[in-house]
Amino acid sequence: MAKDGTNRGGRRVRAGDKPLPLSDKIASGKAAKILEVPDLQPETVFKIDEPEGVVELYGEDMPAPSDYLSAKQRDGKPLGADLLYTETWKWLKERGCEKFVNPRLIEAYAQAFTRYIQCEEAISTYGLLGKHPTTGGAITSPFVQMSQSFQKQANLIWYEIFDIVKQNCTTSFIGNPQDEIMEALLSGRKR
């Protein structure tokens, strides 16, 4: 580090060979560190007097998506990001990586991708051109830029989620929930 506080010289960030997925390391017989999530069972058992009339509570397998993911939109339809949240969480569960991904990260991905789909639907409805509010001339539709922004945001979050899966999944995996969503979007069918 120089006197002015800037980093100079040395290895560039993200330079060199990319790390292999955990499943590839295991398959090739290389040393691999598997991240273990400890059971949340206490080692010491305490005796607790149970009050009368208490209902037995059962834990949920999947954390419930937040209400804003299914909020009613201005056109009266629900946002539908809760469906994408559920689908993504199930995909993570199949690979045993749901414990490693923060549910808020899945929610952020679901919302960004659903907003991207909304913008694409608006572009299909209203076209690629819009009318300038003061001059009345043709301009690029604002939905195009918003679509690109939401797509970039969704992809960045997805890469983060997928990297967690790649680094922690012990079995080979095929399939990507993003492919199914894009197929539904491109074929024009409603989810």
In a domain, 37, yes or no: no
In a domain, 147, yes or no: yes
In a domain, 159, yes or no: yes
In a domain, 52, yes or no: no
Confidence of residue 59 (pLDDT cuts 50, 70, 90): very low
In a domain, 26, yes or no: no
- Per-residue pLDDT of 42-58, as tens digits, reads 566 666 666 666 666 55
Domain coverage including residue 131: 78-191
In a domain, 103, yes or no: yes
Terminal-to-terminal C-alpha distance of the chain: 52
Report how many domains make up the chain: 1
In a domain, 105, yes or no: yes
* Side-chain half-sphere exposure of 76, counting CA atoms within 13 A: 0
How far apart are alpha carbons 99 and 79 in whole angstroms? 26
Residue 13, helix vs strand vs coil: coil
- Per-residue pLDDT of 116-143, as tens digits, reads 999 999 999 999 988 888 998 999 899 9
In a domain, 189, yes or no: yes
Is pLDDT above 60 for 150?
yes
